Every structure is written in C-alpha cells, then in structure tokens.
Structure 1
Amino acid sequence: MLVETLTALAAAGGTAVVQAAGTDAWTGFRQAVARWFGRGDAQRERVELERLDQTAVALEAADPTQVDRVRISSEAAWHARIEAALERLDEPEREQAADQLQTLLVDHVPGVAVTAGQGGVATHGNLDIRAEQGSIAAAVIQGDAQIGPHPASAPPQD
C-alpha cells in the first residue's frame, strides 16, 4: 500500500478521534479504535482505552481560548500513533490493518471516507493544490470547491 494512502488514512483516523470525542458516537468508536490498536492483545487494548479517554478529557477540559491548540495537538498525536502502528506491521498485516481502519472509520464516523488510487492522495477536509512555474495540478472534487486564487491573495474587486 502506498505511503501517501497510509498517511491520509492515519490523518483521517487522528481527526476522527478528536471529532468523535464527547459525542454520542464516542463509546462505540473508542472501543473499536482500542480493539484496532490492540490486535487481540487485551492489555494493549486497555492502554489504548486509557489514552483515548485522556484525549477526550483534555478536549473537554480545554479552556475555550486553548481548545483549537488542544484539538490540533490531539489530532497530530493520534495521526502519528496510527501511522506508527501501521509502519510496525509487515506488508500483508499493514494492508489488512489499513482495510480494518478504513472500515472502522466509515462505520463509526459519519462522512469519513478516505480512499486514493495508486499515486493519489485523499483527504477528508481541506486540501490546497498549487501548480507553479508551468506545472499541472489536478483534483477530483466531491462537494463544494473554490477554484482560483486563494481568497486572501485575490486582487481587490472594484
């Protein structure tokens, strides 16, 4: 499986953990994530449940002025944990774990579907694509899109 695909999947997983924390979906989602990490090891699963709970508590307890920082930090931490877990596996196990994670995300977090073909990058959220000095950039867009200069860099309209 391509590194870009695994990275996108890990990023989606990190985002999903943070988005699900404190919602009605949290209980089932945290169990599924802990089972995914545990891969049959009950002790490892308990450790992951504790980590997931720590994330939920940190997000809930965050001062309103710090909630964005805590959210971004938590997403990055879970992204890194998921990516590291995938990297530790041999290729057949990695593909199986990636498929299981993809299914877990689709089943437990509405609106999450991250897929990409060979050489592709998929994201759930914003993606900035640029082409400079005669390069070509292409994208398949599902949903709302703005094509053209970034609004902050667009010349003022008269």
Structure 2
Amino acid sequence: MVSEALAALAAAGGTALVSAMTTDAWMAAKQGFARLLGRGEPEQQQAVEQRLERARQDLAGKSDAALERARAEQAAAWRLRLSDLLEDDPAAEADLRALVAALGVPGSSSSGEVRQQVLGFDHAQQAVQGHGAQNVSFGGEGNRRDEQRDG
C-alpha cells in the first residue's frame, strides 16, 4: 500500500496522462510514461506505448458526457498502474514527479473567470470555495439597504 502522498502523485499522474491524450503534448507524454512504466526494458516500453495509444483511441470520437466518463475511467486505470509502479519501485517517484511537472497538472487552474455577486444584510455571511487565486472585495456599490431607506 502506497502512502497518501504517493497515492496523490499517482492520481495526478493519471490525470495528467489522460489530459495529454487530446493535446499537442501527447507524443512527449506517451514516450515519458512508456519509459517510466516500461522500466527501461524495450519490449515492455513498446507494450506500454501500444496500451497508451489504445487508451488515446478510446477517447477519440467521444464528446461531452461520454468523453468525460471515458476520461475518468482512463485516469482511474492509469492511477492504479502508477500506484502499483510506485509500490513496486519507490525510486520511480522522482521520474513520475518530473513527468507530472512537465505536463502540468490539469485542474490546477481555472478554465475561466468565475464571478459571484452576493448581496447580504444584517448578519449575512459569505463563503467562497474554490482553488487558485481568489480576490474578495466588500463594498463597491455601497450599502443598498441604506440607499433604499434614503430613497
């Protein structure tokens, strides 16, 4: 059983790999993961490359919900393979970290700007949940309740 940190690394690796399958980074990702999972043995590396290509083809032609479902299934499958690798060969951690860093971890940045406007009065509270850079400002248009009373 791998540690929680290594399990998170395996999950990040699976996600990065599957995300790269539909980008220009695919060839570099395929070669890097094949080298890592093939453990330096040419025959194993070639078998992994073929498996990776089949996984990529599984995503081709799918869209919307079917694509997201296939991506999730692929990411889970590769997470398990990477977790097994880390359990069998702890020295592979550095190589996997380097691959994930080179590809970037999908989901670590927003897909776009999200705006939330909240009006609250008296004892209102606001909770902001998310990731990445968040800017919260209070005020702006003034206290609307006071404006309504004055009008």
Q: Same fold (TM over 0.5)?
A: yes
Aligned residues: 116
TM-score, structure 1 length as denominator? Answer: 0.64
Q: Distance in 2 between matches of 1:104 and 1:88?
A: 18
- Asked whether the 8 Å contact 1:12–1:124 carries over to 2, the reply is no
Q: Deviations over 1:55-100 (max 9, x none)?
A: 11011132544111101100100001100111122xxxx0x21011
TM-score, structure 2 length as denominator? Answer: 0.67
Structure 1 segments of 4+ aligned residues over 2 angstroms from their partners: 61-65
From 83, 100, 104, the equivalent of 1:105 is 100
Q: Distance in 2 between matches of 1:45 and 1:68?
A: 27
Of structures 1 and 2, the larger Rg is shown by 2
1:72 equivalent in alignment to 2:72: yes
Q: Distance in 1 between matches of 2:73 and 2:45?
A: 22
Q: Distance in 2 between matches of 1:63 and 1:124?
A: 22
- Matched with 1:37 is 37
Per the alignment, do residues 72 and 142 of structure 1 end up closer, same or farther by CA in structure 2, a change over 3 Å counting?
closer
Superposition deviation, residue 142 in structure 1: 6.6
Q: Distance in 2 between matches of 1:103 and 1:43?
A: 23
Q: Distance in 1 between matches of 2:17 and 2:7?
A: 15
Per the alignment, do residues 63 and 24 of structure 1 end up closer, same or farther by CA in structure 2, a change over 3 Å counting?
closer
Superposition deviation, residue 124 in structure 1: 4.8
* Letter matched to residue 99 of structure 1: A
Stretches of structure 1 that go unaligned for 5 or more consecutive residues are: 114-122, 126-140, 146-158
- Matched with 1:59 is 59
Root-mean-square deviation (CA, aligned residues, Å) is 2.8
